[in-house]
Amino acid sequence: MSDALSLGLGGLVALILLIGLRLPIAYAMILVGGIGTVLISGPALVLSQLKTLAYGQFSIYDLSVVPMFVLMGAIASKTGLSQALFRAANAWLGWLPGGTAMAAIAGCAGFGAVCGSSLATASTMGKVALPELRRYNYSGALATGTLAAGGVLGILIPPSVVLIIYAIIVEANIVTMFMAAFLPGALAVILFLLTIAAYVAIRPEAGPKGGTPDRAEFTAATLGMIPVLIIFGLVIGGIYLGFFNPTPAAAVGVFLVLAFGIVQRRLGLPALREALLETAATSGMIYLILLGAEMLKIFMSRSGLPQETAAWVVQSGLAPMLVLILLLVALILLGCLMDSLSMILLVVPFFWPVLVEVNGGLYQGAEGAGFGMSTEDLKIWFGILALIVVELGLITPPVGMNVFVISSLAKDVPMAQTFRGVAPFFAAEILRVVLLVAFPILILGLPRLLS
């Protein structure tokens, strides 16, 4: 083993230890990447990188969409859109057994389409839906499990910040990734609704029927959802139909959400200031992680570790589909230990070269022997699968960040009970992954159709 490769392995171990010691992952990646590059190539290279690397990373035009979508979600959480979504969904579904829980899932999907953050979706919808679930005497497991699982819809249903970052890393088209995420996102909603229906069929007392609204209440609740449909239709529909690129679309979304809040008198200056500060903090964190990931990628590339890993997998003779399954399982396990954005930035530079090699080598547009698809299609297919399994970490012990968020809102429900409530939804997510692996057309069909 060469000295550079040994340094690469040592750097990877050091990174995991630093993360385990709770050092912020951005600082851990900058530290390991910087020291590793110094040891391999000398300090002059690192100093040269620091002079231009940050500007080169942060001045990428595609990245300007990130703070815009973050701001859109931050303002949306202050303007009552989540309440309007839940009321409308509850008016349509609440009369069914488990209907209020179904309405919570529909509300999470709708808010995720405006917000794009799993934790924010879980937190916001938890505050809105939990009182209603309590009012109708839903079991603690079903109520909290539904809200924790519903939060994972935020990452995949466009717009998704993590999906944008993945597209930039592998040089995929952001619009194409948004198109590819639509059907898998809709499939998740359907499977979650079926999961609730099956749950209450087995345990009817866990999810009683809600009240049936009168015509006036039903009409008012349905009309209250129109602003969300307009915002989603103009932003995402405009992207799909080619009227906007993602960055202008995000700006339109911010304007529409801001206008809604002002017209409805739900967004005062204190709330707007808070949304702007949240956006600055979140965007700063994302950009710093991106810088750390780039420094780590330079170190690892110079060590040769990703290339050696890809060569070893190819020489091992493992079937391409088995390699994919092993990578997805590794992502689920690692997703229990860190957030989705950090996971994508950390592991994709390692996993992507492996998949390219088992798919038939580094070339664009040709049909790979491994998965029977081009490298461009592989980017899209793997990206959607990776995001789904990474988000499973948000509802998986021992970390399960969505579970912690919901538990902080439902302090009377033991966390173990919430994890039991999440288990059926976890099984539904595994079924979704199996379907998407077995039938790639569910991911690739819409981009091919609209292209």
pLDDT score for 116: 67
Give the pLDDT score at 385. 93
Query: Taking 90 as the threshold, does the pLDDT of residue 433 lie above it?
Result: yes
Residues 27 and 289: beta-carbon distance below 8 Å: no
Mean pLDDT, residues 242-252 taken together: 85
Q: How large is the average pLDDT for residues 40-53?
A: 81
Interval 121-131: pLDDT, tens: 888 888 888 88
Q: Which residue has the higher pLDDT, 241 or 116?
A: 241
pLDDT at position 214 is: 79
pLDDT score of 328 more than 80: yes
Per-residue pLDDT tens digits for 355-393: 888 887 543 444 445 788 888 899 999 999 998 988 888
pLDDT for 429 equals 93
- Where residue 316 falls among pLDDT bands split at 50, 70, 90? confident
- Return the pLDDT at 153: 86
Q: What is the pLDDT of residue 197?
A: 94
Question: What is the pLDDT, as a whole number, of residue 354?
Answer: 85
pLDDT, mean over the chain: 84
pLDDT mean over 275-295: 87
Asked whether the whole model's pTM tops 0.75, one would answer: yes
pLDDT at 426: 93
Q: Which residue has the higher pLDDT, 320 or 187?
A: 187
Digit-coded pLDDT (tens) for 163-187: 888 888 888 888 899 899 989 999 9
pLDDT digits (tens, 9 = 90+) for 198-212: 999 999 998 888 777
More confident residue, 242 or 186: 186
Mean pLDDT across 40-63: 80
Question: What does the alpha-carbon distance between residue 156 and residue 184 come to, in Å, rounded to a whole number?
Answer: 8
Lowest mean pLDDT among 8-12, 112-116, 272-276, 277-281: 112-116
- The pLDDT of residue 190: 95
Lowest mean pLDDT among 114-118, 231-235, 382-386: 114-118
- Tell me what percent of the residues of the chain surpass a pLDDT of 70: 96
Q: Are 139 and 205 in contact (CB under 8 A)?
A: yes
- 388-425 pLDDT, tens digit per residue, is 988 888 888 766 778 888 888 888 888 888 889 999 99
